[in-house]
Amino acid sequence: MRLVVARCQIDYAGRLTAHLPMATRVLMIKADGSVLVHSDGGSYKPLNWMSPPCTLREGATEDGQVEWTVTNPKTDDTLRILLAEVISDSSHDLGIDPGLQKDGVEKHLQELLADHPGTLAEGLTLVRREYPTAIGPVDLMCRDAVGLSVAVEIKRRGDIDGVEQLTRYLELLNRDPLLTGNGAVRGIFAAQEIKPQARVLATDRGIACAVVDYDALRGLDDPSHRLF
Amino acid sequence: MRLVVARCQIDYAGRLTAHLPMATRVLMIKADGSVLVHSDGGSYKPLNWMSPPCTLREGATEDGQVEWTVTNPKTDDTLRILLAEVISDSSHDLGIDPGLQKDGVEKHLQELLADHPGTLAEGLTLVRREYPTAIGPVDLMCRDAVGLSVAVEIKRRGDIDGVEQLTRYLELLNRDPLLTGNGAVRGIFAAQEIKPQARVLATDRGIACAVVDYDALRGLDDPSHRLF
DNA sequence: AAGTGAATGTCGAGG
DNA sequence: CCTCGACGTTCACTT
């Protein structure tokens, strides 16, 4: 890992072209040759970057300025960095990172709802998770109190895409006589947050919406919240 | 901008929880208090981060180790960094960045196709760009060789979402007698790359697909390619 | 290798 | 302020 603080000007050419005027920035060069250009603001996304695999070639312009050329041989992307003044340049051996452990994403939400389908609708019971169809798996296939099939689509953030997805599933499922024997398959759109447009579209299509409280669900599994 | 190289262990709690075991990493602390944790690999996304607005508080554990606590008062996200060994710690004043100038994204594709609708279908002419409807603007509204209306949806990468979007437009447009006077409004789905699933869905719905060559289109506008 | 869906997405425009 | 769609999306996982 090499860290360079420098006054520089940068040009990128790849899927788009982009230009950064001369200014002081931080250049991070990783062991795999990838390069990140950061300014003192914005969020985690660099102003500009090159993804691996790529190689950095150090050269000079006619007038003696240092110029880096970073190229990705697979995509033909190039990043040209003109260095007007190097303020700091240091290298460090970081070793291999053990990696990030995550908890609390959509998969966990699905697991929790699979364990507690009754929180979505009174009397709902799980038939199976990841119920397979020709166009992909339905998150939860359930049966309601009177024995009708219910397809549940789970999102962390519920927007129109999720409603469209569930609609496609329902169209397909409602062609299956095994599921529709007792009546049409209903849909429930479950998310931690449901956007107004998504709610309107869902309602228009007869799909129920369920806003899920992740912490409350987790509480159901937490021994300290149990009654016995 | 402060750059710290340190052996550290990190815990994040916010929309999810995440943990990074003890290892050597680069910590980037920006002027707005935001923090980025980078390892010597991966791409531009940090292993962990805190977005502004947030504040960094430097403290110590019982056993004397340095501990940083970064908090975002709005979202209640917290990042706890336990520093076992600081290898390097430097600060630099970068000033304000003039910002990035981009060229070559979807807007340009739309401009080029608006100038050359005939490349989408023989005899197609532009009626107007960003044709307004109740559910949003249609990228290009055109008329074909025999006077029928054609709605064009443009994407850089064409996947199912785009087909759904165009379908919604077509449903709405086909209720307008002014447009359907001569016959139903047709749809063209134009993208630099069309995913197989999107193509199948489009075809199933009678929507034509057009793969657009950005460079060739640009060539039509380039004086050096003109015949006269 | 290619496709598909999630993401602590981020970012910017427009209402 | 919120909502929506694009993104050099990136990323992980499946086929």
Write a three-state SS string for chain B.
CEEEEEEEEEEEECCCEEEEEEEEEEEEECCCCCEEEECCCCCCCCCEEECCCCEEEEEECCCCCEEEEEECCCCCCEEEEEEEEEEEEEECCCCCCCCCEEECCHHHHHHHHHHCHHHCCCCCEEEEEEECCCCCCEEEEEECCCCCEEEEEEEEEECHHHHHHHHHHHHHHCCCHHHHCCCCCEEEEEEEEECHHHHHHHHHCCCEEEECCHHHHHHHHCHHHCCC
B204 CA → C1 C1’, Å: 27
The rounded distance, in Å, linking the Cα atoms of A68 and A59 is: 6
Nearest to A46 by CA among A22, A12, A69: A12
AA letter at A54 = C
pLDDT confidence tier of residue B222, bands split at 50, 70 and 90: low
Burial of residue A1 (number of CB atoms within 10 Å: 0-12, 13-18, 19+): buried
Residue B73: which residues within 8 A CB-CB, separation 6 or more?
A: B53, B54, B55
Over residues A78-82, mean pLDDT = 96
Q: With a 7 Å cutoff on the CB, does B194 touch strand C?
A: no
Give B226 or B15, the one with higher predicted confidence: B15
Q: Which SS3 state, helix, strand or coil, does residue A190 take? A: strand
pLDDT band for position B223 (cuts 50, 70, 90): low
Q: What is the pLDDT of residue B56?
A: 94
The nucleotides of chain C lying under 7 Å from a protein CB are: 3-12
Give the per-residue pLDDT at B226.
38
- The yes-or-no verdict on residue B120 having pLDDT over 80 is yes
CATH 3.40.1350.10 placement within chain B: 106-225
Helix (H) or strand (E) segment spanning residue A150 = strand A149-158
- Quote helix, strand, coil % in chain A, to nearest 5: 20, 45, 35
Q: Is the pLDDT of residue B102 over 90?
A: no
CATH of A106-225, one of 3.40.30.10, 3.40.1350.10, 1.10.40.30, 3.50.50.60: 3.40.1350.10
Mean pLDDT value across residues B116-142: 88
- Report the mean per-residue pLDDT for chain B: 89
Give the CATH class of B2-91: mainly beta
Residue-wise DSSP of A3-33? EEEEEEEEEEESSSEEEEEEEEEEEEE-TTS
Whether A51 sits with its Cβ under 7 A from any strand D atom: the answer reads yes
pLDDT at A223: 53
Number of residues that make up chain B: 228
**Which residues have C-beta within 8 Å of that of residue A200, sequence separation ≥ 6?**
none
Q: Mean pLDDT over residues B8-35, rounded?
A: 93
With a cut of 70, say whether residue B155 has pLDDT above it: yes
Range list for CATH 2.70.180.20 in chain B: 2-91
A123 pLDDT higher than 80 = yes
Q: Supply the pLDDT for residue A25.
A: 97
Nearest by CB to A39, which of B38, B40, B94?
A: B94
A172: contact with B, CB 8 A cutoff: no
Determine the pLDDT at residue B225: 41
| Per-window interface: A 22-51 vs B, CB < 8 A | 23-26, 28, 30-32, 34, 36, 38-49, 51
pLDDT at B133 > cutoff 50: yes
Res B228: pLDDT: 37
Minimum mean pLDDT range among A16-20, A158-162, B49-53: A158-162
CB within 8 Å: A32 and B41:
yes
The percentage of chain B sitting over the pLDDT mark of 90, rounded to a whole number, equals: 51
Cβ of B11 < 7 Å from strand C? no
| Separation of alpha carbons A103 and B17, rounded Å | 5
Q: Is the pLDDT of residue B219 over 80?
A: no
